[in-house]
Structures are given as C-alpha cells and as structure tokens.
Chain A
C-alpha cells in the first residue's frame, strides 16, 4: 500500500506475518509511519493491531517480514531492543509503583549506578527539561498513589521519554480518563508531535482518533484494509471499514414505560475496614421497564455500588429494598439469595468475577445457578441438561464458537461477555445489574448487546447500567445518574444529556 505521506518514515513495516497455530493473526502487513506524526490504529478486537504492536515492541517475533526504524532494518528480539531503538510503549494498565514517588518511578530500571543520589539528580534535571519542553509538568516528589489517573499517565509518558524514546505507542490511553483529562492528554500528544516525536495511538474510540490523529490505519482480520487522512474521512466511514458493513450505533428505542419500583436504595453507605468511605449516602430508585445509567470516572464508587446492590458486600449503613425484601446492616443478604429474589448481575470484571477461565463454557453458563433446576437436582448436576442449556444460550446470543465443551478462556472477550449476559438474562430477571456491558467488546457485538438490553427493558426488566463509556450510557439509558466520590451527584434525563454536560459533572464534583 502506498503511504499517504511523503515525509520520511520513522517506522516502516514490510510484509509482517504472524500466526498462532491455525489463527493467522497478522497477514502480510506493510505500513509506514511518518516521523513527527500522530497515527491512529483502529480495528475490532482480534483485528491484529495488538499483535502488530507487540511485534513492533519486541514482545512477539514475526513469522515473516521486516521492521525498519529510520530506514534501517532492525531485529526486534525483545522490548530491550525496541527501547534501544527509541520505541516506548505506554500500556493501558499503568506499570507504576504506587508507594514510590514520581522520581523513584522514573529511575526504576535506569538507576544509573549502585548509589541512587547521582541518578536522582540527573533524573530531576531531565524531568525539568522534559516538563518545559513538552508541557508535561508533574511534581517529582509526589507519591504515585496521591496523583490523579491523568497525572499517573503523564508519569508513564515521562518514563518512556526519559529512556530516550522518539517513538511512542499508546494503548487505549483514554480508557481511564475523564473527557477533560483526555483533552489534556491530546494537548500533550500534539506538543510531542511538534517536537518531532512519532506517536502511534491504538484505540477503539473513533471520535478521539478524529480529534487528535493526522492519519488513521484501519485493520480488519489481520490485514490493513484502509489508510486515511483524518481530514478526509469520518467516524461513520471508519466504523464501516472496521466491521466491513454498515453499523448503527445509535439505538432506536421506544420511550420507557415505567412500572413499579423494583430496587430502592436509601442513604446507602459503605465504609471499609480502614474507615475509607466508599459509598456515601446513595439514594437510588430503579423501576421496572427502565434503564438507569450510572456515569462517572472509574473508581468513584461504582464498583462498590454494584457489590452492595448484588449482595456481595453488605452495606454499613442505610437500607436497600429489592423486590420487596429489605436489606440493611442488621439484615444482610448473600448473592445467592439475591438471585432467588430475581436479581441478576453481569459483573464489571468478567475475567475475575463473571466466569472461571479454566471451566468449560457449559460450566460457566451455570455459574451462580448451579443449585437450580433443571441443571441440578438434589445437588446432583445434570450434565446433559447443562450442555443443552449452554448450547441454547450460545445459539440465542450468537456466541462463537458454539462449543459448550471449550474452555471459557479460549473465547474472545466479546463472546465471553455475550455468554455471561445470556446466562444472566435467560432467567428473565426482575432486576438486572450490568457493569461495563461492552468493555473490550468489538463494535458488532456492542450493537447486539445494546439491543438485547433494550429488549429486556421492554418486557419489564429494571436495568441498572454502570459504564465508563459515556457514549454507551447516553445511547442506552432512560435516566442518567452521575457518581463521584461515592455519591450520586446529579441526575439528568437522557434526552437532556450530552457528553459535555456529563463530563463537567464528573470532573467538577
């Protein structure tokens, strides 16, 4: 494919090919990334962009093909080689030591000798220089744990620059940021570009690509299918290119028909053992036939709210009423009893909570319902019934591959999520709690999951959706609550909300 830009390429890939067993993850990819540009790489899950970047960073070895840095072929055997060639990577999950200061994190792995003092002095000077040059200011003596998420990400970027990186790969950098923090990140990326740094941005948020990148590379099924200047394309075209067909992200849904209140929280609070107030007097009402969305920057009590509402943790104060049963600190409940009341829960973190990676899909398909007929009678599991149930869920929710005997960990994220949703929705719950319904799920599956949730709502299920994706909350919810610092700080009707309003509420609290 002919590169769109005439500028010299900082990174060039020629005919990169990589297979894992029968899976042809990257198919003869050739691309050039011009020096001093911001290039976005987009694609569905499994499109090969992660693998491609892992090859560039020396984590995987390509089966065939060539990597050229500054027009010279190089051998990327390990991340050490990548760093030596000036490539740095900022991971989605930060790799910082929380109890260390910014400076200590910076010199970690580059201490510059057995005694720290010299290294610290050099690092402090370098930090000042980098701060001035790129507008990346962070207090070098602050502890990581005391920094906001956006500042922590800045430290990650500084770490990479400190090691002399001239090419920066960022993996889903805005996943954990508020819209305002994301804007600040983009300012930083632009100032890096102005100083000649090459930036590669991996994301699934097309709007961000449009806002910050110069060029965008679209991958599908392991191959580069398109390369565009962002000025000459649109999010609609990119989405279509990624999926290979037309996509409707905005839902057509009828107005909610409210029924009776199924779940009510009054002054719900949760204080942990160290006395940290995780939930601070939450009032919340959920009625049959509506979807209530909870927006907020992650880490503001959403996780704990789901834990209390689903019976995993008892509240330390306040009261919760679910389908007529009252739960308070003196009358706790466990998740199994909650299920018996008709409450289903799709957990935020599907790998840690929603499934057992080592179990077969059929076993995962009864998690939480293992004592219920028809899967189980007198504590004896009916294995054929479990398999049949799983096959039925897979068929209805288009889980691929449709193999109940396959280990849960061998399904892609989207298919795992569909299986969990299918499990929780198949029992026709009265209340459905959903945490991050489409985290790490590709666009085709997002569309499907959203439609299923609305279908459930239309038959009278009361649904609570917690998501860090504002777009998702906006398109799904009938009412939106904004959470911050363990409190509900505002409510907006869906038709009066947009990202700016919500973003301001999330940040100002």
Chain B
C-alpha cells in the first residue's frame, strides 16, 4: 500500500457520454465562442450559423461536397488513430498522402493504356497505400532500430515529400508542353466513378459534386480498422504496445515489428487521400493536393477519440465546416476565408486541447459512482 499523492480522482463517464455527449458539448462551446466573435465583427451569429448549415447540408450538391471533404478527413483521421493506438504520434500524414499520390499516379500513368480501367483503379489504390506505407516505413524504421523520435522524423519527411514532389512534377512528370506543373490526364476509364454517376445508374438523381466512390472506400476502411484493432490478435498486440510497451514485451510482441506494422498501416491509410483527390477528382497528379488534410487528421482523431465511428463523425463535422465555411464566406463578406479558419481552429481547440474542460460538469450529471 502506498500513500503517494493520489492523481486527481477521475471518475469514469458512461461510454456513450464519453463518445457522443462530450464531443457535442465541446462543439457547442466552440460555436458559442464563434457566435461571440461574429457578433463583435457585426455579423448576426444566428444568420451566419444558418448559412453555414445550409451551405453544408442544404442541397444534394452541398451534401456531396461535405462528404467529399469528409472522405479526406476520414482517411487521415484513421491514419493518426492507428498509429496513436500503438503509442506512436504520426505527424507525417501530409507527406504520406502526398507520396501515396505519387504511387497512385505512377500506377495509372504506367498502366492506363494497357489494362482495363477497373483493374488499373484497383492497382492504383494499392499503389497509393503502398507508397504511403513506404513513406511512413522509413521514420518507423529509424525509430525502431535507431531510436530517432518519430514525431521529429515524420515532420521532416513532410518537407522531404513536398520538395521531392515539386522536383518530380516540374522536371519529370509534367505533361509535355504544359505550363502548369501537373501530369497528363488519366484515361477516363481509370478514374473513380463519381457518386452522381453511381447513384444515377440505380435511379437516384443528385446534383454533380466532387463526391466519388473513395467515400465508400473510406467507410470500408473505417470498418476494417475497427475489426483490425479490436478483433484481431495483431490489433490486440498493437494496442497492448500503445498502452504498455513493457506488457507487450512480456507478452512476446516484437516492439520493432509492431512499430513497423502500425506506421505502415497508418501511412497506407493516409494514402487514401490521394485516391479521393487524384483518382476521384483531379484525374492527374497535381501539386499540393494534401492541402493540410494530413495535419487536420490529428484533430479529427483526437476529437473522434481514436475510434473509427468517432472519426467518421468528426470527419463529417470537419467536412461540413470546410464546405459550409466556403459558402459562408461567399455570402457574408465579413466572414472571410480567414474567419472560417478561425472557426475550424476554435473547434479543434475545444475538441482537442480543451476536450476535458466540460468533464467535471458531465461527471456531476452522469458520473458513475465508484
């Protein structure tokens, strides 16, 4: 028995409160502050909120864009979460998505003239995952064998990826005769069908948007990640390592191999962004398509409590903010692009850094005894 000073006694909350109510309260707090800021710059907060919601969910087109953005957030959120469950903080989603795009694009550019479209698409998705995994494997290897901290190396690899892609796009992959640094277009057969086309084929009419089948892939990935983490012995070993590396060693898990596995999976998931952006929308390799999704994935995973279901919900919120925010700044000039970034920042602040702020109140309301 020890009389060491007790940690602040943290009573557990019921699971549903932890997963559903706490994030909602956090979002509500964030919007409260947003409302106050909007008021101070002379914008009617309720009107702005309405515009934001209508902009995100008001029509089949806006819903399409919201889900299209959410697709990217799901992929990067899952990427961060898988590494996080292994006790690894992967900040390199940005670079892994970028290099995933290289793999994806190279596969299509090399094969789209020779192989049937669906086969090219499957190979391109695998290539995106493989390249993303490979880009994560190097920092993972350096951590597992050399002890270089993964937070530092993955950040640096983002810069390396960015520089490498600029070099390749400008000097190697640029379409002949083009003035912009982008590759030739993919063959039409080697593009992921848009959701509009898919729904039309089964008789549902929706407005065209950037939403494509990558969204379905993202949802399937979420289910797969859940099964992997909680229903396989690998996921069990991975979570054991994340919670208690000594227990993992005791159980016979190789920390090195598990670090490699977790980071490669994480990188492969980040590669999903490339599938959505390049195969689904741009149909060519372009510069800077990860556009910060890799970093936002950290906030998404944090807010989703690293659980696939939570991540999908958080990704929807971030997608809605992205899409609704764009509409908002279009409608109300005072709500500039920068104000929308402020809103996103506040949501991240309240859901991430201050996530446990409302906990004492919720404990008073729902706290389980004992």
Contact = CB atoms under 8 A, between A and B. Distances in A.
Interface of A: 20-23, 45, 49-50, 53-54, 57, 59-60, 79, 89, 91-93, 169, 171-172, 202, 204, 310-312, 334-339, 345, 347, 352-359, 363, 366-368, 370-371, 376, 379-381, 383, 407, 440
Interface in B193-252: 230-234, 236-237, 239-240, 243-244, 246-247, 249-252
5 contacts: A169-B3, A336-B253, A337-B252, A367-B250, A381-B236
A50 B247 contact: no
A1 to B, nearest CB: 23
Given A312-B250, A335-B249, A356-B239, 9 more contacts: A21-B367, A23-B370, A93-B4, A172-B2, A202-B1, A334-B254, A353-B247, A370-B236, A371-B233
Q: Name which of B3, B5, B234 has the most chain A CB atoms within 10 A of its CB.
A: B3
Contacts of B236: 363, 366, 370, 381
B235 to A, nearest CB: 8
B243 A357 contact: yes
Contacts of A380: 231-233
B364 interface: no
B243 A359 contact: yes
Q: Name which of B9, B12, B253 has the most chain A CB atoms within 10 A of its CB.
A: B253
Contacts of A353: 244, 246-247, 249-250
B352 to A, nearest CB: 20
Interface in B154-178: none
Contact of A370 (B230, B233, B244): B233
B146 interface: no
Contacts of B247: 352-356, 367
Contacts of B50: none
B3 A336 contact: no
A367 B3 contact: no
A339 B252 contact: yes
A21 B1 contact: no
B11 interface: yes
Given A339-B252, A352-B244, A59 B9 contact: no
Contacts of B42: none
B254 A370 contact: no
Given A23-B370, A352-B244, A352-B247, A93 B2 contact: yes
Contact of A172 (B1, B12, B234, B370): B1
B1 A59 contact: no
Q: Name which of B5, B231, B234, B252 has the most chain A CB atoms within 10 A of its CB.
A: B252
Interface string B1-28: 1111110010110000000000000000
A311 B251 CA distance: 10
A407 B246 CA distance: 18
Contact of A54 (B3, B11, B254, B369): B3
Contact of B231 (A45, A57, A169, A381): A381
Contacts of A21: 11, 367-370
Interface of B: 1-6, 9, 11-12, 230-234, 236-237, 239-240, 243-244, 246-247, 249-254, 367-370
A381 B3 contact: no
B246 A352 contact: yes
A49 B1 CA distance: 9
A59 B6 contact: yes
Given A20-B370, A23-B370, A440 B231 contact: no
B243 A358 contact: yes
Nearest to A337: B252
Contacts of A202: 1, 3
Given A23-B370, A370-B236, A370-B237, A383 B1 contact: no
Nearest to B237: A370
B252 A335 contact: yes
Contacts of A310: 250
Contacts of A45: 1
A93 B4 CA distance: 8
B251 to A, nearest CB: 4
A168 B45 CA distance: 61
A352 B243 CA distance: 10
Contact of A356 (B11, B234, B240, B369): B240
Contacts of B12: 407
A366 B3 CA distance: 31
Contact of B3 (A20, A171, A337, A371): A171
A505 B322 CA distance: 73
Nearest to B249: A312
Nearest to B250: A353
A171 B251 CA distance: 33
A158 B47 CA distance: 68
B232 A20 contact: no
Contacts of B230: 381
Top-5 shortest CB links A-B: A336-B252, A21-B369, A335-B252, A368-B251, A22-B369
A368 B1 contact: no
Contacts of B231: 380-381, 383
Contacts of A366: 236
Nearest to B5: A59
Nearest to A338: B252
Contacts of A368: 250-252
A306 to B, nearest CB: 10
Contacts of A93: 2, 4
B3 A379 contact: no
A367 B250 CA distance: 9
B240 to A, nearest CB: 5
Nearest to B1: A50
